[in-house]
Amino acid sequence: GSPVPPEERRLRDKKHLDDITAARLPPLHHSPAKLLSIEESIAIQIQQKEAYEEMQAKLAAQKLAERLNIKMLRFEPEGEASMQYREVRDEE
């Protein structure tokens, strides 16, 4: 027989896969991988490391601030809690 053109063969194979499986590849949301030079790769890694360390520092500062705020919220020098011990009640 005559050879099948590659495009037709690809369509036939795809139709066969559609017939035998429901599995689908997820859509490609990002551009395909590309080759980088060592210098570009190192620069990107350094940039990512700095961004990661900055994010970690912000997270640590946020956690510390939350802890301090919790302690400060409980401290009420002019509030009700400081006046309770001063109330004297006669039991008689």
Q: What is the mean pLDDT of the chain?
A: 78
DSSP secondary structure string, 47-65?
HHHHHHHHHHHHHHHHHHH
- DSSP-based helix, strand, coil % in the chain, nearest 5: 65, 0, 35
pLDDT digits (tens, 9 = 90+) for 3-37: 778 888 888 887 777 777 767 777 777 777 889 99
Q: Which of 71, 92, 69, 76 is nearest to 84 (CA)?
A: 76
User: pTM of the entire structure?
Assistant: 0.41
